[in-house]
Structure 1
Amino acid sequence: MTTEQIISIVIFLITMTAIMTERVHRTVAAITGAILLIVTHILTIETSISYVDMNTIGVLVGMMLFVAVVKNSGIFEYIAIKSAKIAKGKPVNIMIIFILITTILSAFLDNVTTVLLIGPMTIAITRILKINPVPFLITQIMASNIGGTATLIGDPPNIMIGSAANLGFTDFILNTGIPVIFIIITAIIYFLILYKKQLAVDEENILKVMEMDENKAIKDKSLMIKSIILIVLVVIGFVFHSNLQMESCVIALLAAIIMLLIGKQDAEEIILGVEWSTILFFIGLFIVVGGLEETGVIDKLANLLVSATSGNMILTMIIILWASAIISSFLDNIPFVATLIPLILTMQQTGNIDVTPLWWALSLGACLGGNGTLIGASANVVLSSISNKNGYPITFKHYFKIGFPLMIISIIISSIYLLIRF
């Protein structure tokens, strides 16, 4: 290994350790790691910026601004109360309903957008019921990653894979969508067993929920109508963004700009409502992972995965599935997927073999692997930040104890599916 590779690995490990142990604020840890890569000349300012996924940052900023305006209409409180009343005020039913809503929305919206919409609703209703929202928020984080696995547009790795392998929306529904159904059913059972004792609530609080009038939660009817129209247009925009020849970040930022212009809200207040610490965390994390990519460490790792299988397609498929899942729990899955895509294409061209199973293994592993840790996916970081800001901290250790076992279960189900399918 070269000196540059060793330095980039050491900085990466120190940064990740600081984030995981939470002895240093994760944003401070990520930015420190990024600066150290520049100070040690592993990256220049220009190259470090090139590793920041501006599409992801754009979606984050755009949807945070969008949701900051929309929430002033009272729509989240309205949906929260309506959903809770449909669930008869019972926390178990509310959890299941919100998991299903999150899963379905994540299949057609960006995961971050979904949790930005669902998170405030959850906190609002759990406050009425006087129970801890953390179990609900954790289940929604995981549901968003599971739902995002099902479609071409649900998660950035799927968009990348679909483009490289010429796979369409239907291809993903028929291949990754099928195991997702079994995984979400298993996840619901897992959550209900895990959180059964924490979902007890006083009958008095249930009655309070049932007596509430959801219509009174609407603060600005005009803004609510505008919000609903824009939310529908955003969904359509995300589904057809490739046909419109627009990046998803353009859709998100355009929606934010329109809402800022027509929402008639205090722009200063809306801008301050963005989770800027989360944005800076992602920028730092992209650069830290970029250090590994710049020095060839990710390349070496990807080559090792492929060469270790000696061309056995089934073995390669399973190794890519599991390695993608484990690595994507701790690393951003976008650069990892970007590195593996050309390798799979090379195998197809030089070996003249059908690599279709490898695309689905990569998709399932990279997307579902995001559930493994609190930093495994964008949705995890965003929703945990919202929870922390509202006084309900979600620690790396607490999340890991719940998320990592579910991720392993998800990959076992995916392994069985792929072995039967191929």
Structure 2
Amino acid sequence: MTVVAIAVFVIAYVLIATEWTHKLLAVLGGAGVLFALGVTDSDHAFYSPDTGIDWDVIFLLFGMMVIVGVLRRTGVFEYVAIWAAKRAKGSPLRVMILLTLITATASAFLDNVTTVLLIAPVTLLVCDRLGIDPVPFLIAEVMASNIGGAATLIGDPPNIIIASRSGLTFNDFLLHMTPLVAIELLVFTLVLPWLFKGSFTVDPDRVNDVLRLNEREAIEDRGLLIKCGVVLLLVFVGFIGHSAFHIEPSIVALLGAGVLVLVSKVPTRAYMSAVEWQTLLFFAGLFVMVGALVRTGVIADLAGWVGGATAGHTLLTAMLILVVSALLSGVIDNIPYVATMSPVVLELTKGVTDPAHSDALWWALAIGADFGGNATAIGASANVVVIGLALRAGHPISFWTFTRKGVVMTAITILVAAPYLWLRYFAFS
């Protein structure tokens, strides 16, 4: 069964990477084969928290897609697009920097999937106004989202899993992860002109047209905008305080979507058409395939190897966790990877007497998984969402278009993170 699970995953991954077939067909076909051969079953695929579909992710996405569908009817995305273009004086590079910094900051306080769902429509509109290709901008934003989301406990789903296993608090993440994220964002901003070289040419006439626009005229329904604003505020409060309220973000998103649909009285077709059904099904199939790897012990064996390869040398263990987490989180979604790896790290910390060294193992896991999610098109949930939105808007992002940039950025962020870990937790601890 182990061999079958690995073979199915590898074949599906090759099909996605080479684009020989549609990625949805690849993952659903792979999931179907696993069901047919008995590698997984309905109990493990639909009900198990360890090996099944993460319904919290699915319904969080669904709820936010409905909210965005209603919000789009207000004209607020057009407003923000014009505002951003005017503040950047029509410069594509300045627009990219502005939008990526907004994305990174928002991702620290919301989950990164929610952030990209809100920012992507703005990006598509501002690029349309300027007559430039939105693909580099969308890729840059999703990278910024994965980097920015690492700053807090609630910003990136792997951080929530790590906090529950390690006992680290919201303030711990602020003190230990936020300084590194600030450094990484500075490096990311400096790298942008080189990483997306050739993406910043714009017609001066289009710039002048945008600068003459009045963003206030873009708002089409102020009453609906107020209703959306109130509901979104309540949803964001729910996201930030979900641990205190004892309610999952997915439930918050569904409740927010339900309330907004009721008070807005928007036609059903208007908001349901905004739901990215292909993206939701892709996630479901991917969760089934990764769950099969978890069930057959493949991921646990890989994680266990990390612990045995360093012979108790804490600094070497931390660096190995960092690198392996970055590599594996680029191949499989970082959520199931962290769910599997966190018990291994917990065992490793039991033999460490220095608290700083012990915490370093957890921070290495968080950094590697969060930043490693940028490596490929399926490394993090936000990546898949943005690619689905781009395809729907008529700007497809291929697996390799994303991955060529993602691998470079992941390497840079890990190279910056390694000395941070060494200096803060070993050299000067």
Q: Map residues 14-29 of structure 1 onto 2, 5 A cutoff.
A: 14-29=11-26
**1:37 maps to 2:34:** yes
Taking the aligned partners of 1:326 and 1:350, their CA distance within structure 2 comes to 25
Opposite residue 153 of structure 1, the aligned amino acid is I
TM-score, normalised to structure 1's length? 0.97
Deviation at 1:214, TM superposition (A): 0.8
Aligned match of 1:58: 59
In angstroms, what is the RMSD of aligned CA positions?
A: 1.2
Structure 1 stretches lacking a partner, 5+ long = none
Taking the aligned partners of 1:310 and 1:353, their CA distance within structure 2 comes to 17
Deviation at 1:16, TM superposition (A): 0.7
Residue 244 of structure 2 aligns to a residue whose secondary structure is coil
2:70, 2:270 within 8 Å by CA — same for their partners in 1?
A: no
Aligned match of 1:389: 392
Deviation at 1:231, TM superposition (A): 2.1
Taking the aligned partners of 1:252 and 1:96, their CA distance within structure 2 comes to 29
2:74, 2:225 within 8 Å by CA — same for their partners in 1?
A: yes
Aligned match of 1:13: 10
Q: Map residues 208-287 of structure 1 onto 2, 5 A cutoff.
A: 208-287=209-288
Taking the aligned partners of 2:158 and 2:92, their CA distance within structure 1 comes to 34
Aligned match of 1:410: 413
2:390, 2:397 within 8 Å by CA — same for their partners in 1?
A: yes
Deviation at 1:321, TM superposition (A): 0.5
Deviation at 1:403, TM superposition (A): 0.9
Taking the aligned partners of 1:262 and 1:105, their CA distance within structure 2 comes to 26
Among candidates 379, 399, 404, match of residue 376 of structure 1? 379
Deviation at 1:350, TM superposition (A): 5.3
Residue 242 of structure 2 aligns to a residue whose secondary structure is coil
2:321, 2:368 within 8 Å by CA — same for their partners in 1?
A: yes
1:65, 1:271 within 8 Å by CA — same for their partners in 2?
A: yes
Per the alignment, do residues 315 and 5 of structure 1 end up closer, same or farther by CA in structure 2, a change over 3 Å counting? same
Taking the aligned partners of 2:83 and 2:229, their CA distance within structure 1 comes to 16
Q: Single out whichever of 40-49 and 318-327 deviates more from structure 2.
A: 40-49
Taking the aligned partners of 1:175 and 1:205, their CA distance within structure 2 comes to 44
2:68, 2:274 within 8 Å by CA — same for their partners in 1?
A: no
TM-score, normalised to structure 2's length? 0.95
Taking the aligned partners of 1:382 and 1:297, their CA distance within structure 2 comes to 27
Opposite residue 313 of structure 2, the aligned amino acid is N
Taking the aligned partners of 2:379 and 2:308, their CA distance within structure 1 comes to 26
Among candidates 357, 364, 367, match of residue 367 of structure 2? 364
Taking the aligned partners of 2:182 and 2:215, their CA distance within structure 1 comes to 31
Residue 186 of structure 2 aligns to a residue whose secondary structure is helix
Q: What per-residue deviation string (whole Å, max 9, x for no partner) do you get for residues 280-315 of structure 1? A: 000000000011111111111111111111111101
Deviation at 1:190, TM superposition (A): 1.4
Taking the aligned partners of 1:12 and 1:353, their CA distance within structure 2 comes to 39
2:349, 2:361 within 8 Å by CA — same for their partners in 1?
A: no
Aligned match of 2:136: 135
Deviation at 1:196, TM superposition (A): 4.0
1:83, 1:97 within 8 Å by CA — same for their partners in 2?
A: yes
1:68, 1:274 within 8 Å by CA — same for their partners in 2?
A: yes
1:150, 1:177 within 8 Å by CA — same for their partners in 2?
A: yes
Q: Single out whichever of 278-287 and 266-275 deviates more from structure 2.
A: 266-275
Taking the aligned partners of 2:94 and 2:231, their CA distance within structure 1 comes to 29
Deviation at 1:272, TM superposition (A): 2.7
Q: Single out whichever of 184-193 and 92-101 deviates more from structure 2.
A: 184-193
Per the alignment, do residues 310 and 258 of structure 1 end up closer, same or farther by CA in structure 2, a change over 3 Å counting? same
Deviation at 1:195, TM superposition (A): 2.7
Opposite residue 12 of structure 2, the aligned amino acid is T
Taking the aligned partners of 2:91 and 2:199, their CA distance within structure 1 comes to 12
Taking the aligned partners of 2:224 and 2:33, their CA distance within structure 1 comes to 46
Aligned match of 1:329: 330
Deviation at 1:346, TM superposition (A): 2.1
2:307, 2:348 within 8 Å by CA — same for their partners in 1?
A: no
Per the alignment, do residues 314 and 226 of structure 1 end up closer, same or farther by CA in structure 2, a change over 3 Å counting? same
What count of residue pairs does the alignment treat as equivalent?
419
Deviation at 1:77, TM superposition (A): 0.7
Residue 415 of structure 2 aligns to a residue whose secondary structure is helix
Structure 2 stretches lacking a partner, 5+ long = none
Taking the aligned partners of 2:83 and 2:351, their CA distance within structure 1 comes to 57
1:347, 1:353 within 8 Å by CA — same for their partners in 2?
A: no
Deviation at 1:41, TM superposition (A): 0.7
Taking the aligned partners of 2:391 and 2:40, their CA distance within structure 1 comes to 32
2:238, 2:252 within 8 Å by CA — same for their partners in 1?
A: yes
1:87, 1:93 within 8 Å by CA — same for their partners in 2?
A: yes
Deviation at 1:353, TM superposition (A): 5.8
Taking the aligned partners of 2:199 and 2:342, their CA distance within structure 1 comes to 43
Deviation at 1:198, TM superposition (A): 2.0
Residue 57 of structure 2 aligns to a residue whose secondary structure is helix
Q: Map residues 148-227 of structure 1 onto 2, 5 A cutoff.
A: 148-227=149-228
Deviation at 1:65, TM superposition (A): 0.8
